[in-house]
């Protein structure tokens, strides 16, 4: 008979997480003439409308460059020169995107507006991340890019103007890799920094590019998070682990909603099927090289809280009886995973 369909679906999803998420999506807000059909979704340069200005075309092309691969898509929402971006943010709130970027955010005085919107989206289950210039947001969902000047053949760009390129690099980097030291071939120079200055910026949650003597490269892939809590360790400061966390959460939510919620009676046996499916999903993530280990089981404390709220006396029940007790609509599962980071530090000792 084999495994249940939901378990197979979850395991397959875990094993293909990297493949399915090797290219992220970008939501870009640009000022300019608003087309009749707005926004416009672009997957390659040839799809950029001829009506788009030269400057805006450059921003789109920068994002499309990506890294090892190009982003999955760049959805461009055009707003008038003096218009608010409320409608653009409202659109992004109800459609799935990995990153949001606006290359005039600082000039328009909208950095804090976008930052606050991104952070507020977490409450609605929207884990969109933003690439913003000079934005010390103290959030794992905000990448704070701070390089003052990046020199290219087309001219010198500011931090805000280069944010689409940074978003494209992150979106084009597969989950098993990090963006640390990604080369930027079109850049010939940038604001020069000492080793001490670079270390200080990284430790402050600031991302930048630097010249290594031969080429311009990205710094360590960090976000703006600085304040850690009991629920957030050092990994939350890094882009790669956070991308993996976000993708896993989105995967499990989608798989549960599409294949389980409303489709099974809330019995102990059905809850065990879902628990097994979660375990098989994480097994797939181990196979995919995204996590090294995991633990998954029923969250007894959460079940007790739900029973208490429902007026059910569990004082004479064992944990096994509590887990097996059928009531309500909730399934309470807890998991611990160890996310794998990429190799970024090499210490070589050579003895002669």
* Residue 289 covered by a domain: no
**Do the beta carbons of residue 230 and residue 336 sit within 8 Å?**
no
pLDDT of residue 40: 97
Range of the domain at 51: 23-173+180-218
- Is 76 within the bounds of a domain? yes
pLDDT at residue 4 is higher than 60: no
Mean pLDDT of 270-294: 91
Please give the average per-residue pLDDT across 156-169, as a whole number.
98
Whether 26 shows a pLDDT value over 80: the answer reads yes
Give yes or no for residue 3 having a pLDDT over 60. Answer: no
Nearest to 30 by CA among 128, 103, 117: 103
**Residue 52 domain-assigned (yes or no):** yes
Write the CB contacts of 217 (distance below 8 Å, at least 6 apart in sequence).
181, 182, 183, 184, 209, 210
How confident is the model over 187-199, as a mean pLDDT?
A: 97
Q: What is the CA radius of gyration of the chain?
A: 23
Classify residue 111 by burial, with Cβ atoms within 10 Å: 0-12, 13-18, 19+.
buried
Of the candidates 42, 277, 274, 51, which has an alpha carbon nearest to the alpha carbon of residue 164?
Answer: 42
User: Which has more confidence, 292 or 14?
Assistant: 292
pLDDT tens per residue, range 201-255: 999 999 999 999 999 999 999 999 999 998 889 999 999 999 999 999 988 888 8
Give residue 1's pLDDT: 44
Give the strand pairing for 291-298 and 142-145: unpaired
**Residue 124 falls inside a structural domain:** yes
**What would the pLDDT profile of 296-315 be if each residue is shown by its tens digit?**
999 999 999 999 999 999 99
Q: What is the mean pLDDT of residues 122-137?
A: 95
Which has the minimum average pLDDT: 1-15, 195-209, 288-302? 1-15
CA dihedral 175, 180, 186, 190 (to 10 degrees): 150
Give pLDDT, residue 260: 86
**Once rounded to an integer, what is the mean pLDDT over residues 173-184?**
94
pLDDT higher than threshold 80 for residue 8: no
Evaluate whether 123 touches 117 at the Cβ level (below 8 Å): no
pLDDT value at residue 256:
87
Rounded to an integer, the average pLDDT of 277-290 is 89
pLDDT of residue 350: 85
pLDDT of residue 344: 80
- What is the structure's pLDDT at 22? 63
pLDDT > 60? residue 172: yes
Question: For residue 124, what is the domain's CATH number?
Answer: 3.30.1370.220
Beta carbons within 10 angstroms of residue 200's beta carbon: 12
Buried b (16+ CB within 10 A) or exposed e, 327-339: eeeebebebebeb
Decide: 93 and 121 in contact? Cβ < 8 Å.
yes
Q: Does residue 281 register a pLDDT over 80?
A: yes
Cα–Cα distance, 210 to 216 (Å, whole number): 5
Residue entry with tokens 């010249």 = 211
Q: Do 238 and 225 touch, CB atoms closer than 8 A?
A: no
Look at residue 323 and tell me if it is in a domain. Answer: no
**How many domains are contained in the chain?**
1
Evaluate whether residue 223 is within a structural domain. no
> Is 142 part of a structural domain of the chain?
yes
Per-residue pLDDT band at 288 (split at 50, 70, 90) = confident
Write the pLDDT tens digit of every residue in 28-74: 999 999 998 999 999 999 999 999 999 999 999 999 999 989 999 99
Residue 311 belongs to some domain of the structure: no
pLDDT at 72: 94
């Amino acid at each position: 008979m084999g495994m249940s369909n939901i378990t197979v679906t979850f395991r397959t999803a875990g094993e293909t997480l990297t493949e399915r998420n090797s290219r992220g999506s970008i939501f870009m807000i640009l000022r300019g003439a608003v087309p009749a059909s707005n926004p416009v979704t672009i997957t390659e340069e040839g799809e950029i409308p001829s009506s788009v200005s030269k400057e805006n075309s450059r921003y789109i092309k920068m994002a499309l460059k990506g890294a090892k691969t190009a982003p999955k898509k760049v959805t461009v929402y055009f707003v008038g020169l003096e218009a608010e971006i409320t409608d653009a943010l409202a659109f992004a709130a109800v459609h799935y995107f990995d990153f949001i970027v606006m290359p005039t955010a600082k000039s328009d005085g909208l950095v804090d507006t976008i930052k606050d919107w991104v952070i507020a989206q977490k409450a609605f289950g929207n884990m969109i991340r933003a690439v913003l210039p000079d934005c010390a947001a103290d959030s794992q969902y905000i990448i704070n890019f701070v390089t003052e000047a990046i020199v290219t053949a087309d001219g010198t760009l500011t931090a805000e103007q280069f944010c689409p390129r940074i978003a494209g690099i992150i979106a084009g980097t597969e989950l098993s890799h990090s963006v640390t030291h990604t080369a930027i071939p079109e850049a010939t120079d940038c604001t020069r920094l000492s080793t001490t200055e670079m270390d200080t910026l990284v430790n402050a949650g600031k991302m930048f590019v630097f010249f290594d003597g031969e080429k311009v490269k990205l710094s360590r892939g960090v976000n703006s998070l600085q304040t850690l809590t009991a629920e957030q360790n050092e990994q939350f400061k890094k882009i790669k682990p956070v991308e993996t966390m976000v993708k896993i959460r989105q995967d499990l939510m989608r798989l549960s909603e599409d294949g389980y919620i409303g489709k099974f009676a809330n019995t102990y046996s059905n809850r065990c099927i879902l628990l097994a499916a979660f375990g098989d999903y994480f097994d797939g993530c181990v196979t995919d090289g995204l996590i090294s280990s995991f633990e998954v089981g029923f969250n007894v404390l959460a079940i007790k809280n739900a029973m208490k709220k429902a007026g059910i006396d569990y004082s004479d029940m064992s944990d096994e009886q509590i887990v097996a007790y059928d009531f309500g609509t909730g399934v309470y599962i807890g998991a611990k995973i160890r996310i794998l980071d990429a190799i970024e530090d090499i210490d070589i000792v050579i003895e002669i």
